[in-house]
Amino acid sequence: MQADWTKVLGWPGYRVYDYQIDEARRHLTLRVRRKRGNRKLTCAQCGGAGCTTSARSTSARCGTFRALSFRRPYSKRFEDAVGEACEGAAARQVARRMRLAESTVRVIDLRYLERWEARRRKPPLRHLGVDEIYKGKRETFLTVVCNLETAEPLWFGRERKRETLDEFFRCRLRSRQRKRIEAARVDMWEPFRLSIEHWAPQ
């Protein structure tokens, strides 16, 4: 775990040997040592030598101050490290490893996925799949739209009415995206068929 924190902190020549997380106060404490052979702390801003205390590092050349405790609950770099860890392990395992609550790990992982979704290049939608999921008597159905070429779900809508699928075509796809659709796979549920014929007649 110390190696993960060393990567998150990103100080060349130094490593984290211990850490404490106080979730109630939203406070993180990292204890740092020089790596073997490293003689001094250098400033990432100007490259100059710096002085250090248990709580901070200050560059002697440019005066840049860097605190070890964060004003925000977690830095983006830390959240990325948590998100990457969640790619290969369950949230419970990551929480135990990083000494966080499982609910905190899930919230951080969700933010990590939202950032990944915002910056990734989305494949074009050419083959459309539409089906429903039965949720029980209280919530009845969810409509699911997916890209059949990539096997990824694109959208979920309440109920399984024509108006439900109309909302996907109207709000989630531009006109040129609708024109790219070459084929649609759907069961015999007529409301879905009518919506597809209206929005993607080709």
| Cα 136 off chain centre by | 30
Provide the residue ranges of all domains of the chain, joining segments of one domain with +. 2-118, 127-199
Helices (H), 28-161: 76-86, 91-98, 102-119
User: Whole-prediction pTM value?
Assistant: 0.49
Question: pLDDT for 42-87, tens place per residue?
Answer: 554 455 555 444 334 444 444 444 444 334 467 888 889 999 999 9
Q: Amino acid letter at 27?
A: H
When mean pLDDT is compared across 13-22, 43-52, 184-193, the lowest value belongs to 43-52
The torsion angle over the Cα atoms of residues 150, 155, 159 and 165, rounded to 10 degrees, is: -90
